[in-house]
Amino acid sequence: MESIIQQEKQCLVCHCTRGLHKHHVFYGPLRRISEKEGFTVWLCARHHNMSNSGVHFDRELDLEIKRLGQHVYEQTHSREEFIKLIGKNYL
């Protein structure tokens, strides 16, 4: 599924368009659900996993993107549906 979070193919954080990585907002065991439901965003290498400001190392950024994902999902679904899917409430 296409991202439900982002229309533009650019880094979500700095908006650059070079060397983008596809990041699964809910990763680990939830990676497949992210892929299926469109919880994906584009990030440049720096904001993904190639520096300490990357989402995989910066807990705050990670939570911020997860909250954004939940917020967008809840435009068309209930909170209960989100929690059933992801197992947690981030908002």
Beta bridge mates, 40? 24
To Zn ion, the closest distance from the beta carbon of 45 in angstroms equals 8
Is residue 66 involved in binding Zn ion (CB under 5 A)?
A: no
Which of 3, 20, 23, 39 is close enough to bind Zn ion by CB under 5 A? 23
Neighbouring CB atoms inside 10 A of 17's CB total 12
Instruction: Outline where 1-91 has alpha helix (H).
Output: 31-37, 45-48, 59-73, 79-86
Binding to Zn ion (CB under 5 A): which residues in 24-63? 44, 47
Q: Which residue, 56 or 77, is less far from Zn ion as judged by CB?
A: 56
Site for Zn ion (CB under 5 A): how many residues? 6
Which of 1, 8, 9, 14 is close enough to bind Zn ion by CB under 5 A? 14
Q: Which residue, 15 or 71, is less far from Zn ion as judged by CB?
A: 15
Would you give the DSSP letter of residue 24?
E
Q: Which residue ranges make up the site for Zn ion (CB under 5 A)?
A: 11, 13-14, 23, 44, 47
